[in-house]
Structure 1
Amino acid sequence: MADTTNRLAGTAKVTVDGLTIMVAGNFKYSPSTVKRETLTGMDGVHGYKEKPQAGFIACQVRDSGGTTVADFNGQTNVSVVAELANGKTIIGSGLWTVEAQEVDSEDAVFDVRWEGVEVTES
């Protein structure tokens, strides 16, 4: 068995409501809950403003024969779980998809982004 203690990146295994999807690439996530922006004036830096921000999980999915792209567009309350090469598990609960999914038939892929209140990493 290969030693994987130094592996940091390269794989992502993703399930949506328990159903495994083919991840072609570009896996990204954010557990962040706020977005800050620096406020400046003509006399210098004044501080910052802070707004709530939805967490997200996103990836490029392979459009296999068993995949129904329209189903992704209809997802409004799903759980997404990802297991990464570095040993982290990313969990999103009560997520919905944003943007329309467009298939690139050259490589049979489409982008999906789920957003919601709860995205955690462990």
Structure 2
Amino acid sequence: MSSNLLAGIARVAIDGVTRQLEGGAKYSVSTVKREELVGPDGFHGWKETPVAPSISMSLRDAGDMTVADFNAIRNSTIVLELANGKIVTGRNMGATDVQEVDTEDAKFELVFKGPQVTEQTVSVS
């Protein structure tokens, strides 16, 4: 029997260390941005530019870590385990944004980008 759980619960590990997700996580496996090329006479075609796949999240600033360590990340493996059973993995990822901690809720945003983010799906029966 299949589970109807599709969203909500998630886990994240950065270089094998599980971290506390404060809120949701997002990921993009896209490698190109596609834009239409249009002139006064109508549609001409497409323009494609490369983009880096990404994984982003909001983490809790737990007492067992330093936020500065995340700013130094350049070659890490990020693994998201989603409620629906899917595993999302980013390899050779680097932290791209400046991390700023909101002390009221002990949270901060992280954005990782790199050459590849993959999805491992589960079979639904």
Interval of TM-score (by shorter of Structure 1 and Structure 2):
over 0.9
What code does the residue aligned with 1:40 have?
V
Aligned residue for 1:61?
Answer: 59
Aligned length, in residue pairs: 120
> Residue 94 of structure 1 is aligned with which of 83, 92, 95?
92
Q: Which sections of structure 2, spanning at least 5 residues, go unmatched?
A: 121-125
Give, in angstroms, the shift of residue 4 of structure 1: 6.8
Question: Secondary structure, in 3 states, of the residue corresponding to 2:46?
Answer: strand
**RMSD of aligned C-alpha atoms?**
1.1
Aligned partners of 1:61, 1:96: CA distance in 2, in Å? 16
Paired-residue identity, % = 50
Query: Structure 1, residues 4-31: CA drift from partner, whole Å, max 9, x if none?
Result: 7101100110001100110011300001
Aligned residue for 1:74?
Answer: 72
Aligned residue for 1:109?
Answer: 107
Aligned residue for 2:116?
Answer: 118
After the TM superposition, list the runs of 4 or more consecutive aligned residues in structure 1 that deviate by more than 3 angstroms. Answer: none
Question: Secondary structure, in 3 states, of the residue corresponding to 2:47?
Answer: strand
Aligned partners of 2:34, 2:49: CA distance in 1, in Å? 7
* TM-score normalised by L of structure 1: 0.95
Aligned partners of 1:113, 1:4: CA distance in 2, in Å? 33
Aligned partners of 2:57, 2:97: CA distance in 1, in Å? 13
Question: Secondary structure, in 3 states, of the residue corresponding to 1:58?
Answer: strand
Q: Give the direction of change, closer, same or farther, for the CA distance of 1:4–1:24 in structure 2 (3 Å limit).
A: farther
Q: Which sections of structure 1, spanning at least 5 residues, go unmatched?
A: none
What code does the residue aligned with 1:86 have?
N
Aligned partners of 1:12, 1:60: CA distance in 2, in Å? 12
Question: Secondary structure, in 3 states, of the residue corresponding to 1:71?
Answer: helix
Aligned partners of 1:4, 1:74: CA distance in 2, in Å? 41
Query: Structure 1, residues 41-81: CA drift from partner, whole Å, max 9, x if none?
Result: 01111111001110000000000111210000000000001
